[in-house]
Structure 1
Amino acid sequence: MTAAAEACHRTLVVFDFDQSLLEDDTDRWSMKLGGDEAAALRASRGRDDCWTDLMGEIFAVIHSKGVGREQFEAHMQGMVIHTDMLAACKLMEGRTDVDCFILSDSNSVFIDVLLERYVLKNLFKRVVTNPAHFDENGCLRIQHCHSHSCATCVLNLCKAEFMSEFIATTPYARKVYIGDGGGDLHAALQLSPGDTLLARRGYPLMKKLATPAGQDFKANLVPWDSGTDVLSWFQKHLSS
């Protein structure tokens, strides 16, 4: 089979991370380490402020409380991936016809820690997120994922730009996106008829799809409540 023919039989599966692959939100989970000071800092900011920049300030607050890398990472390892969501991921391990990516507004440190914790690092061929690292003093530092000119998305990340790149790089036979947040909408709009969006019920993505902002959505919509729903869909549609 030629490379072009093989590509035409491939499936792209893209996961959002927070409240999609994970049950909870990494940033809000990490804020617990900052106590009342971190909560007050968050409450002082408005909707138009850059969330990623705010998290950089909160990480500095956490560091000022004596929390170093080891304690930080141990805290993040307490986050949960639903048992059936994990099983859904395991269905795709070793598949040469499926490419799994993560597209997330979390950060590289949090994602690396949790993929290691759940033994999923080898599954995901690409992780697109905000770069982060612990500096020489043990303070977590975060940067914007990239610069873009999209007026729809948050300042630090346009998910549509990366989805378009994924699609342009390989002519996938089908594409699947699993998400929950408002930031996933622009990515979902890059899907075509025959592709599938698994959108978490009761979360901002589902609500936005019902507004004029979602009128250009063309793919199949599959609402889900828990990892059990995602596993059921994967078993039916993505089994080898």
Structure 2
Amino acid sequence: MTKRIAVIFDYDFTLIDCNSDTYVFERLWPSRPAIVQELYAEQFQQWTRSMDQAFALYYQHHPKNASRQTILSTVAHVPVQEQMLEAIRYSHALADLFIVSDANTDFIHAFLEKEGIQHLFTHVISNTPTNTDGRFGVAPYFDFVTREPHGCSLQCPPNMCKGKIVQDELQILQTYERVIYLGDGLGDFCPCHRLRETDYALARADFPLAKHIQENPIVANVRLWKSGHDVYQLLATLLKENESKAS
């Protein structure tokens, strides 16, 4: 049964405590740990394409260590704060949980399965993993090459408008009485901008989202957090408050 509250998590630097895209190359290709950033700066200027090309280059140089199993078993061990996991387990009893991320679904599911929490999430939305001739890769969630642009100008990358995913595809704002959105990056600004007066944007302090909201105020209530402990306390307070009003 659908609950009255939705809690939406970004993944990198929000649910987990790193960027999973760069983490995998730091671990598997230590001689070129910044390969994705290099490709982004030198060639593509688009993160998902840079990520896919980085996997292609890694496969060329290290084919015996580039299997999907090796990649996913590596990225399943990304760092995470234990209290963030506790916040997820606690929130599941009172809210429907979602992940909307610019990583990719295989990375996210590998981590969730390792932690035994995959069943706690209603939907996981992210870029699409690919398998071309045995090579792991990533395709954009929104194919901006063959389709018309998604048309959003609120800091959204061309491959993903999280605001449209939250509002139009998942229909979260139309379904739930209250929405709580947790994020850290500029790509999280669009969904936060669409939130209502009864909703909450939980922005990671000293990260781009918090700074951008400070410069561009939104309608929703804003709370800052620095740690998994902060997130646990915020979610416990907000969810208990909603339960009290319901009773």
TM over 0.5: yes
Q: 1:125 to 1:40 in 2, by over 3 A?
A: closer
Instruction: After TM superposition, list the pairs within 5 Å mapping 1:111-130 onto structure 2.
Output: 111-130=108-127
SS at match of 1:30: helix
CA RMSD of aligned residues (A): 2.2
Q: Which runs of 5+ in 2 are unaligned?
A: 144-149
Q: How far did 1:74 drift?
A: 2.0
Q: 1:230 to 1:183 in 2, by over 3 A?
A: same
Does residue 45 of structure 1 match 2:40?
yes
Task: Determine if contact 2:84/2:231 at 8 Å carries over to the other structure.
Answer: yes
Q: How far did 1:34 drift?
A: 3.2
- Matching residue's letter, 1:61: L
Task: Determine if contact 2:39/2:50 at 8 Å carries over to the other structure.
Answer: no
State which of 160, 163, 166 in structure 2 corresponds to 1:163. 166
State which of 10, 13, 30 in structure 1 corresponds to 2:24. 30
Aligned residues: 228
Q: What is residue 3 of structure 1 aligned with on the other side?
A: none
Task: Determine if contact 1:34/1:61 at 8 Å carries over to the other structure.
Answer: no
* TM value normalised by structure 2: 0.85
- Matching residue's letter, 2:74: H
Task: Determine if contact 1:175/1:196 at 8 Å carries over to the other structure.
Answer: yes
Q: What is residue 227 of structure 2 aligned with on the other side?
A: 226
Provide Cα deviations, 1:126-182, integer angstroms capped at 9, x if missing partner: 111101034452x21211112422233111000110121234674311110000001
* TM value normalised by structure 1: 0.87
Task: Indicate the percent of aligned positions where both proteins have the same amino acid.
Answer: 27
More helix by share: 2
Counterpart Cα distance in 2 of 1:185 and 1:230: 18
Q: Which runs of 5+ in 1 are unaligned?
A: 1-5
Task: Determine if contact 1:115/1:121 at 8 Å carries over to the other structure.
Answer: yes
Asked which structure has the greater RCO (Cα within 8 Å, sep 6+), the reply is 1
Provide Cα deviations, 1:31-90, integer angstroms capped at 9, x if missing partner: 222344463563253397110000000111222212212221221122122110000011
- Matching residue's letter, 1:79: V
Counterpart Cα distance in 2 of 1:42 and 1:100: 31
